Chain A
Amino acid sequence: KNQVEQSPQSLIILEGKNCTLQCNYTVSPFSNLRWYKQDTGRGPVSLTIMTFSENTKSNGRYTATLDADTKQSSLHITASQLSDSASYICVVRGPTDSWGKLQFGAGTQVVVTP
């Protein structure tokens, strides 16, 4: 079973609107959680990273939250733009002795329409 579950699988939003993506994980112990954006035909690009003690982190119009007690994270996109159309992947790093390994969610495909 995947240790990182994302929802929804896909969503369509109007340009200028806000949206929130969800990530639930079971990876334990937990080192950090990162959100990546992957444009079609490109490699993933890191948006935010949060460690156990952080609750929120912003990067421009992207705001990520983390609740380590419930093992949930969200990514909020404010005032969406057409360029926000992409797959958003939640990635969790587990124990420090497996630093090279990441647990990837399946991603949420976001389509922003004019």
Chain B
Amino acid sequence: DTEVTQTPKHLVMGMTNKKSLKCEQHMGHRAMYWYKQKAKKPPELMFVYSYEKLSINESVPSRFSPECPNSSLLNLHLHALQPEDSALYLCASSQVGSNQPQHFGDGTRLSIL
């Protein structure tokens, strides 16, 4: 079992809905990440939190809103998404530092109707 837990595993929502993706880790990692992965493509970085502060935003549209309420939790709030936002959303965590491995969750499969 992965040490990074993501919920829900699957989510179907309409373009007018508001939903949230959740990610939790208890490894004491102080860096947490959101990635978007389309089929047969590598993950694309969206956001990085370091010590609960947003440190990287890869020019992600404002309809995606991240939140890091504490060192163990990372949320991604979704609002007014488009069909092209359908993808696998991966959360990862790591110790802060360049040689530290990122531990990935199994992702949330998001479908926008």
CB nearest to B49 among chain A residues:
A100
Q: Collect the chain A residues with CB atoms within 8 Å of residue B107's CB.
A: 41-43
Contact in complex: B104, A45 (CB < 8 Å): yes
Q: Collect the chain A residues with CB atoms within 8 Å of residue B90's CB.
A: 43-44
Contact size class for A? 20 to 34
Q: Collect the chain A residues with CB atoms within 8 Å of residue B99's CB.
A: 31-32, 49, 51, 93
Q: Is B42 an interface residue (CB 8 A)?
A: yes
Contact in complex: B55, A106 (CB < 8 Å): no
Distance in angstroms between the alpha carbons of A32 and B100 in the assembled complex: 10
Contact in complex: A107, B42 (CB < 8 Å): yes
Q: Is A61 an interface residue (CB 8 A)?
A: no
Q: Of B102, B103, B106, which contacts A102 at CB under 8 A?
A: B102
CB nearest to A41 among chain B residues:
B106
Q: Collect the chain B residues with CB atoms within 8 Å of residue A89's CB.
A: 42
Q: Collect the chain A residues with CB atoms within 8 Å of residue B105's CB.
A: 43
Additional 12 contacts, C-beta under 8 A, given A32-B98, A43-B90: A32-B99, A34-B101, A42-B106, A42-B107, A43-B92, A43-B104, A43-B107, A46-B102, A46-B103, A100-B56, A101-B56, A102-B102
List 22 interface pairs A-B (beta carbons < 8 Å), by A numbering. Answer: A34-B101, A41-B106, A41-B109, A42-B2, A43-B90, A43-B92, A43-B105, A43-B106, A44-B43, A44-B90, A46-B103, A49-B99, A49-B101, A51-B99, A99-B96, A99-B97, A100-B31, A100-B45, A101-B48, A102-B102, A104-B44, A109-B40
